Amino acid sequence: MKDIASIARDRITVAPSLLAADFTQLESQCREVALAGADALHLDVMDGHFVPNISFGVPVVKSLRKKCDLFFDTHLMISHPKQYAKAFVDAGSDLLTFHVECDDMIDAVLDECDRLGVPAGLSLKPGTPAEAVFPYLERVKLILVMTVEPGFGGQSFMADQMPKLARIKREIKRRALPVIVEVDGGVAPATAPQVASHGGSMLVAGTAVFRAPEGMAKAIESLKANTAILDSAL
């Protein structure tokens, strides 16, 4: 398992979302995005229940782990993350992020992650207030703020989530916690400055990287160029 400490909190990092890759060429796409400068690979797991879509599961993660050395940032958009945590850890996930809105007890899922020795992240949907994750900040390594409704790629960025993002970042800074703030949904070179200025340091970008006309490397370089304005509005 790769150490989450390898993901910097004081500069912009990029975790391209596998959902936007060419699924007929996953091995080569993962190799290319790694060479292009990705810091992690974001794996969106959907169960068709928590969100209205089904993506991929344990077998794909396990297969990719054999071919890809990137940090596996696994986002469990599923109703019962506790039930499947061990399977995804065994498959090679380096971080498990689950939703505060899931059907399991949050502390029970965090206990399971502790038992498995895997760092946990907590995500919240656009309609969920920032304060919903505050009770758990000492127990997680990452907070994922969704700037689209989870379930489908290619949606438009929801700028109205920026105040919530900033509230979460301020609370993390107030408590001096080593928690990464990640943002997922409509992130692209045009929207990344807003994310960075409101405290988001780990950018999940799917279409903007895997389908960038200028190529993956230039797309990632453009996203990372926002490090200079990280936290500037806080």
Residues labelled catalytic:
44, 184
Rg of the chain taking only CA atoms, in angstroms: 16
Say how far residue 35 (Cα) sits from the centre of its chain: 20
Residue 227: HSE in the Cβ half-sphere, 13 Å Cα cutoff: 12
Cβ atoms within 10 Å of 88's Cβ, excluding its own:
24
- The letter for the amino acid at 188 is A
Taking the C-alpha atoms of residue 86 and residue 83, their distance in angstroms, rounded to an integer, is 8
Structure tokens at 156: 């438009």
Query: Helices (DSSP H) in the chain: which residue ranges?
Result: 26-35, 58-65, 81-91, 106-116, 162-174, 192-197, 207-210, 216-224
Number of H helices, E strands in the chain: 8, 8
Query: Using an 8 Å Cβ cutoff, are 186 and 178 in contact?
Result: no
Distance CA 24, CA 52 (A): 23
The CA distances from residue 39 to 82, 156, 223, in Å, are 26, 23, 12
